[in-house]
Amino acid sequence: MTGRRILTCAEDAPGADMHAFIADLYPLCRSITGNGLRETLRRIQTHIPLTIHEVPSGTRVFDWTVPREWNIRDAWVKNSKGEKVIDFGASNLHVVNYSVPVHMKVSLPELREHLFTIPEFPDWIPYRTTYYHESWGFCLSHNSLSSLRDEEHEVCIDATIEEGHLSYGEYFLRGISDEEILISCHTCHPSLCNDNLSGVALATFLAKYLRTLSGLRYSYRFLFMPGTIGAITWLCLNEPHIERIRHGLVVACVGDPGAFTYKKSRRGNADIDRAATHVLAHSGRKHKIVDFSPYGYDERQFCSPGFDLPVGSLTRTPYNCFPQYHTSADDLDLVRPEALGDSFAVYLSLLEVLEENGTYVNTRPKCEPNLGSRGLYGLTGGTTGEKERLSLLWVLNQSDGTRSLLDIAERSDLDFRLISASADALASKGLLAERKPERTEIALASAGNTDGNANPAPCKNCEVLD
């Protein structure tokens, strides 16, 4: 068990490096398929040995079909003088993602049917997509719309939608056990930072850090995939291996300065749910815990009833709960190095609980063993604090082979790290023996999926807990 104490909360969390990586990826025009997505995966490969998978268009994945591949070279709208009044070159958000190619002249009323703005934030450009409906459009600031003259405009979207592939990235880091922790993020958004280049950066740097360690108890599987269709594709192609997933996290929106939100798995009481709740409660950070709901990111696929995987989602401000969400204001200023680094540290703390959550048996269960004679009072540099002493007693009392360290931490309301350190100390004196965990089976029924195209639900539960 001692080989397990390998994760430490990084004092020097790589927040600045993560932000620099986000800045590198920011200009690329990503989508659910295409060269922007592919190039993003290649740049992740400069940090970790990511395998890039290519799934052909037309592949049936449960109730869905891998779409044709979309690529865009340029797009613009010109006024009657030939001046570009909307220019994809200035921001890739200007084109509705997956727009079909067009080149024609239109009147202003005709053009306006294809234009999208946010009147409440007249300087911001919205982010829109049309993945599964053949259409075209432009997004622009409301101020720019107001300045368009009532005249003929020339519109051009130089794009292709052709048979091709859906690309996703996978990195598997082998640990001692075949049991896996899944870390998943979506990689399909164009120039947007918190949603979700922050998640891409955190997953990349987490993988980069973990692979420098030895003695990891779990194996780790990192997935970098387009939202919804990517997760559906991965689950469909990997169904025989799903039962190895013991815990999972969907990473998104981890770069803004807001408080943390942990969204529970569908199960609601999985170890990942309990560990996240415990870590946040003892972290001193503002946070909230919310129940599972079938909307959000790819937890909705992992937690569909046919899989019902123990996968939660740890974000800072959740999707759709910050005004910059899906707009050009979700930019490099919204995500902060210190917030990214702090998120990295909390993720590591959570993984530490999962890695160290063993179950032990008290080898001298009849009455309390004499701790003083074994030098166990005085663990913390001369004077053992009350909490440390209490922690030793809790671990001894509860370790009957049926209760994990997380169980004990919850029941005692003591920090898991203290409980874990006590278990190590007691084991070093022969007072505890580890009970190897039994493998629990995950029942796999036939998979079902919900439609991924519903409109975002309104934000709920925005109050924050201390």
What residue ranges bind Zn ion (CB under 5 A)? 195
Contact 335, 22 (CB under 8 A): yes
Q: Tell me which residue has its CB nearest to Zn ion.
A: 195
Phi, psi of 70 (to 5 degrees): -110, 130
Q: How far is the CB of 207 from Zn ion (least distance, A)?
A: 22
Which is nearest to 85 in space by CA: 137, 127, 147?
147
* Nearer to Zn ion (CB atom), residue 14 or residue 230: 230
How many CA atoms are closer than 13 Å to the CA of 451, on its beta-carbon side?
A: 5
**CA 117 – CA 362 distance, rounded (Å):** 65
Q: How far is the CB of 445 from Zn ion (least distance, A)?
A: 29
Nearest 5°: the CA angle 132, 137, 138 is 135
Q: How far is the CB of 416 from Zn ion (least distance, A)?
A: 32
* Nearer to Zn ion (CB atom), residue 314 or residue 418: 314
* Nearer to Zn ion (CB atom), residue 195 or residue 356: 195
* Nearer to Zn ion (CB atom), residue 69 or residue 195: 195
Compute how many other C-beta atoms are within 10 angstroms of the C-beta atom of residue 234: 25
* Nearer to Zn ion (CB atom), residue 277 or residue 450: 450
Burial (Cβ within 10 Å: 0-12, 13-18, ≥19) of residue 243: middle
* Nearer to Zn ion (CB atom), residue 252 or residue 259: 252
Q: How far is the CB of 381 from Zn ion (least distance, A)?
A: 49
* Nearer to Zn ion (CB atom), residue 195 or residue 342: 195
Which is nearest to 274 in space by CA: 409, 403, 420?
409
Q: How far is the CB of 195 from Zn ion (least distance, A)?
A: 4
Q: How far is the CB of 453 from Zn ion (least distance, A)?
A: 13
DSSP secondary structure, 386-405, as one string:
HHHHHHHHHHHHH-EEEEEH
* Nearer to Zn ion (CB atom), residue 106 or residue 332: 332
**CA 54 – CA 234 distance, rounded (Å):** 11
Position 16, amino acid: A
Q: How far is the CB of 87 from Zn ion (least distance, A)?
A: 23
Which is nearest to 249 in space by CA: 225, 276, 227?
276
Which is nearest to 125 in space by CA: 168, 89, 92?
92
Q: How far is the CB of 64 from Zn ion (least distance, A)?
A: 18
**CA 58 – CA 225 distance, rounded (Å):** 17
Q: How far is the CB of 20 from Zn ion (least distance, A)?
A: 22
Spatial strand order in the sheet of 432-435: 400-404, 359-362, 432-435
* Nearer to Zn ion (CB atom), residue 195 or residue 352: 195
Contact 111, 86 (CB under 8 A): no
Cis amide leading into 461 (omega within 30): no
Phi, psi of 422 (to 5 degrees): -65, -40
Q: How far is the CB of 269 from Zn ion (least distance, A)?
A: 28
* Nearer to Zn ion (CB atom), residue 193 or residue 423: 193
Residue 268 backbone zone (phi > 0: left; psi -120 to 50: alpha; other: beta): left
DSSP secondary structure, 298-345, as one string:
THHHHTSTTT--SEEEEESSPTTSSTTTTBTTSSTTTS-HHHHHHHHH
Q: How far is the CB of 230 from Zn ion (least distance, A)?
A: 13
Q: How far is the CB of 123 from Zn ion (least distance, A)?
A: 20
